[in-house]
Amino acid sequence: EDKVVQSPLSLVVHEGDTVTLNCSYEVTNFRSLLWYKQEKKAPTFLFMLTSSGIEKKSGRLSSILDKKELFSILNITATQTGDSAIYLCAVEAQGGSEKLVFGKGTKLTVNP
Amino acid sequence: DVKVTQSSRYLVKRTGEKVFLECVQDMDHENMFWYRQDPGLGLRLIYFSYDVKMKEKGDIPEGYSVSREKKERFSLILESASTNQTSMYLCAITGQANYGYTFGSGTRLTVV
C-alpha cells in the first residue's frame, strides 16, 4: 500500500526562523512528489518534484527530492506569520489514474 | 486559469438525510477526485472518475457513491448521512502538466 509520512505533525516557530519539513514515502512506481500549502480553504500548489537532487525554489521556499532514500524536504527561510498553514506532501504513482496519496500534513505556526 | 467550483462552502444536514455535494470544472479534464479531510488523518480519497460514467473507489468509499453524467460535473452522494461523515470535502481535478491538482474551495459538512 502506498504511504506518505510527514514530520513533524506540528511546529511552532518565531518570525525569522528557518524551518525544514520532512516527507518520506513508499510508493510503487513513483512518478512525482508534490507539496501544497493549505490555509483556510483549498490547498494551493507549491512544487512538483520528479528528479533527485534538483532543488526547486520559489522566493523563501525551496524543496528537494531524494529518490534513493525516498524522501523530500521543504525549507522555508526567514519565516513570516503569513507562512502559518498546513503543508501537505503527496505522491503520485505511475499507472494513469493520476491519483495522489497524501501525508497527514505539517501544521506550521509562525508567531510574531 | 482552471476553475473548480464546489456548490456549497458550508452545509448542515441531519442524520439519515441524502446529501449531494457538487463539483464543476470549467476545463475539459477527464480525471476528477473527491477527498475528505479530517484533523490528524489528512486527505483521504473517497472516489475518483476518469471519464463520464466511469468511477473507481478510493481508500474510503463506504457510505458514499458518486455520479458523473457529464464531463464537467462530478457529484458525491451520501446516501444516508451519519455523524461520522462530518468533515471537509475537497474536489480536485488534474490540472496543467507539472502542477498537480487544482482543488475546489471545499465544503465543510456537519451532520447533526
For residue range B37-60, list pLDDT tens digits in order: 998 899 999 999 988 999 999 999
Contact at 8 Å (CB) between A91 and A32? yes
- Verify whether the Cβ–Cβ distance B100 to A42 is below 8 Å: no
For residue range A18-75, list pLDDT tens digits in order: 999 999 999 888 889 999 999 988 899 999 999 888 899 999 999 999 999 999 999 9
All cell numbers assigned to A62: 525551496
Which residues numbered 16-75 in A keep a CB inside 8 Å of some CB on B? Answer: 32, 34, 36, 41-45, 48
Burial of B72 (0-12, 13-18, 19+ CB in 10 A): middle
What pLDDT is stored for residue B26 in this prediction? 87
Mean of all residue pLDDT scores within chain B = 92
Pick the residue from chain A with its C-alpha nearest to B98: A48
- Verify whether the Cβ–Cβ distance A99 to B106 is below 8 Å: no
Min Cα distance B47 → chain A (Å) is 10
**pLDDT bracket for residue B101 (50, 70, 90):** confident
For residue range B7-46, list pLDDT tens digits in order: 889 999 999 999 999 999 988 888 899 999 998 899 999 9
> Out of B58, B99, B105, whose CB is closest to A42?
B105
What pLDDT is stored for residue B96 in this prediction? 60
Q: For testing the chain B interface, which of A98, A101, A102, A107 should be mutated: the one with the most B CBs within 10 Å? A: A98
% chain B with pLDDT above 70:
96
What pLDDT is stored for residue A97 in this prediction? 67
Radius of gyration of chain A (CA): 14
pLDDT above 90 for B98: no
